[in-house]
A and B are shown apart, each in its own frame.
Chain A
């Protein structure tokens, strides 16, 4: 695991963005060679704050992605389990997920894999924990009865199959979950802990999120920042892609 500790939310976001950019550029995508980015799913389709609107406004409208290269789990599909199975097939057909970027819930969940989810689960319909429903109430005018109680989600196992996983954790309210995820054992009550058994995981967090970690852990990883920052500097661009391809992808390994 690489634990990247930045001072605040903006810096953590920027570091993560630069890292993802470098990863995409170094991958050298082109016609027939797609960089498959995995993201966790969210709210149902027909809501103004729907996941589709969220993704459009925060991501898709800012980039030049072709709509046919966007695959979002459809919560309105007639046969939900078939939709989930088809999604897994699409991932396989795309050559697997190159990089999965996700956050963590205060209860340590990744995507909607709530406490108790199998650590080898696949894409499926999942019941939501009360905490998650409460957290989502703000999207439904605070009316708990309107918040969906189920969601389609990629499974822990699905994410584990990605070649690299990046988890973004910011804020003091996530601190305990981060502690459980990286300093305690692998446990299905804190599903993010599953990534302790993944070859390539990057946790990007801000100072507040480290509040429950051992001072020793924080000092160790902060000390590695000089080395970790080489992953984001220099910042590569697609135009220079040809020249960089000959260099090795990473200057060191975990």
Chain B
């Protein structure tokens, strides 16, 4: 059918025979894309008198916004906390490989490292759009070194630091640069954390609480100063106690500033959190749940030994421990596995599971006007899934960047 468009000559693609996730529901609607964005077909029809140039039959797939992973330490042999010569190639490799897991945007995460690592690595990370080359980079997530010794988990103790001397200046000196930093995880009980949190928030950086022994009031104060995220809830923090719920208590705290929402990351690989705990968190605060992989270099590779920054980790099946210990260190789960496991463990709707990996991380980072949804004028980053939530195809800016049968992954 000839198209007659007054706004643009770019080709219009109409994805038909599909169910799309829109307005929190799977609806039987067609998805229209032009120039890398989701197009409003009604305006096209009446205002431009245009129609589709290409129609694609999606064979009854589910179409969901692409997944956004805000905590991923590496994968496929690449460790983002290692200052190698070919660091950029490492980012490229991971961003390309995770397309098959349905991830269209991510935050490369660095665990606690010496300042030299940050100074070498951070300038090599740049925010960039995704495409055929790989998922988009939204910015770095710096998990540490301003965290608690008691809850360091897999982070190396000798690299932990405080900022009690110079507050924000200390932090800046440690990292070297904050350009392209999107999230910083820190422990709010540390002295002068409030100033640091305020300063980071002013710069548009998302502050996350984690690897901490903070009690609930300290956590609430941090939120009041701007913190909006909790790094892998339950892990590396004080357990929930009925007289002092600690950081976990933020999920139902009444001291959250009006109009703000606290989000919390969960690694739903079946190992980091007991399914019952996952359900408790989900039921307490469903709109804040953000699925993350916390994947490490060994993800996507055979079991064995790999690095995680300054540490050596051992992979045995789905379990990843600091070599010779029982301390969990990251995961080898993929994002689509996490989505499926989350849906099974909580019995939630498909829509809820998909939004926990797309809409909620977009809302956390304040980018839901262009990512994380299939609303008109959003970036056309989306996935085709089958009914069991396995990724069949990945699209970024309306272009197919990965397909199940082609690569056979």
CB within 8 Å of B: which residues of A? Answer: 52-53, 56-57, 60-61, 64, 66-68, 70, 72
**Among the listed A52, A64, A67, which residue makes an inter-chain contact with B49, where contact means beta carbons less than 8 Å apart?**
A67
Residues of B within 8 A of A68 (CB): 4, 49
Q: Classify the secondary structure of B's interface with A.
A: loop
- Assembly CA distance A112 to B325 (angstroms): 80
Residues of A within 8 A of B48 (CB): 67
Contact with A along B38-57 (1 / 0, CB 8 A): 00011001101111000000
- Assembly CA distance A53 to B49 (angstroms): 15
Residues of A within 8 A of B50 (CB): 67
Say yes or no for B30: interface residue by CB 8 A criterion: yes
Instruction: Check B45–A53 contact: CB distance below 8 A.
Output: no
Contact with A along B1-15 (1 / 0, CB 8 A): 110100000000000
**Among the listed A53, A56, A67, A72, which residue makes an inter-chain contact with B51, where contact means beta carbons less than 8 Å apart?**
A67
- Assembly CA distance A11 to B49 (angstroms): 34
Could you say which interface size class chain B belongs to?
Answer: 10 to 19
Instruction: Check A60–B45 contact: CB distance below 8 A.
Output: yes
**Known: A66-B51, A67-B50. Is A56-B1 also a contact (CB below 8 A)?**
no
> Which residue from chain B places its CB closest to the CB of A60 in the assembled complex?
B45
Instruction: Check A61–B41 contact: CB distance below 8 A.
Output: yes
Instruction: Check A66–B46 contact: CB distance below 8 A.
Output: no
> Which residue from chain A places its CB closest to the CB of B29 in the assembled complex?
A61
The 10 closest A-B pairs by CB, nearest first: A67-B49, A56-B42, A67-B45, A52-B46, A68-B49, A60-B45, A67-B51, A66-B1, A56-B45, A61-B41
> Which residue from chain B places its CB closest to the CB of A45 in the assembled complex?
B46
Instruction: Check A64–B1 contact: CB distance below 8 A.
Output: yes
> Which residue from chain A places its CB closest to the CB of B32 in the assembled complex?
A61
Minimum CB–CB distance from B180 to chain A (whole Å) comes to 40
Minimum CB–CB distance from B373 to chain A (whole Å) comes to 19
Residues of B within 8 A of A64 (CB): 1
Contact with A along B173-185 (1 / 0, CB 8 A): 0000000000000
Residues of A within 8 A of B51 (CB): 66-67
Minimum CB–CB distance from B22 to chain A (whole Å) comes to 13
Counted as pairs of residues, one from A and one from B, with CB atoms less than 8 Å apart, the total is 29
CB within 8 Å of A: which residues of B? Answer: 1-2, 4, 30, 41-42, 45-46, 48-51
Instruction: Check A53–B1 contact: CB distance below 8 A.
Output: no
**Known: A53-B42, A56-B42, A66-B1. Is A61-B30 also a contact (CB below 8 A)?**
yes
**Beyond A66-B1, A66-B51, A67-B49, 7 additional pairs, beta carbon < 8 A:** A52-B42, A61-B42, A67-B4, A67-B46, A67-B48, A67-B51, A70-B46
Minimum CB–CB distance from A3 to chain B (whole Å) comes to 35
> Which residue from chain A places its CB closest to the CB of B42 in the assembled complex?
A56
- Assembly CA distance A60 to B49 (angstroms): 12
Contact sample, A vs B, 20 pairs, CB 8 Å cutoff: A52-B46, A56-B41, A56-B42, A56-B45, A60-B45, A61-B30, A61-B41, A61-B42, A64-B1, A66-B1, A66-B2, A66-B51, A67-B45, A67-B46, A67-B49, A67-B51, A68-B49, A70-B45, A70-B46, A72-B46
- Assembly CA distance A191 to B52 (angstroms): 41
> Which residue from chain A places its CB closest to the CB of B50 in the assembled complex?
A67
Residues of A within 8 A of B46 (CB): 52, 56, 67, 70, 72
Max chain A C-beta neighbours (<10 A), residue from B1, B42, B48, B49: B42
- Assembly CA distance A64 to B50 (angstroms): 12
- Assembly CA distance A52 to B42 (angstroms): 8
> Which residue from chain B places its CB closest to the CB of A69 in the assembled complex?
B49
- Assembly CA distance A32 to B51 (angstroms): 20
Minimum CB–CB distance from A60 to chain B (whole Å) comes to 6
- Assembly CA distance A66 to B51 (angstroms): 7
Max chain A C-beta neighbours (<10 A), residue from B1, B46, B50: B46
> Which residue from chain B places its CB closest to the CB of A67 in the assembled complex?
B49
Residues of B within 8 A of A57 (CB): 42
Minimum CB–CB distance from A227 to chain B (whole Å) comes to 37
- Assembly CA distance A61 to B29 (angstroms): 9
Max chain B C-beta neighbours (<10 A), residue from A52, A56, A61, A67: A67
- Assembly CA distance A52 to B45 (angstroms): 10
Minimum CB–CB distance from B97 to chain A (whole Å) comes to 37
- Assembly CA distance A72 to B41 (angstroms): 17
Minimum CB–CB distance from A49 to chain B (whole Å) comes to 13
- Assembly CA distance A66 to B30 (angstroms): 17
- Assembly CA distance A60 to B41 (angstroms): 10
- Assembly CA distance A56 to B30 (angstroms): 13
Max chain A C-beta neighbours (<10 A), residue from B45, B48, B49, B51: B45
- Assembly CA distance A53 to B30 (angstroms): 15
> Which residue from chain B places its CB closest to the CB of A61 in the assembled complex?
B41
Residues of A within 8 A of B45 (CB): 56, 60-61, 67, 70
Residues of A within 8 A of B2 (CB): 66
Residues of A within 8 A of B41 (CB): 56, 61
- Assembly CA distance A70 to B50 (angstroms): 12
Minimum CB–CB distance from A102 to chain B (whole Å) comes to 22
- Assembly CA distance A101 to B79 (angstroms): 66
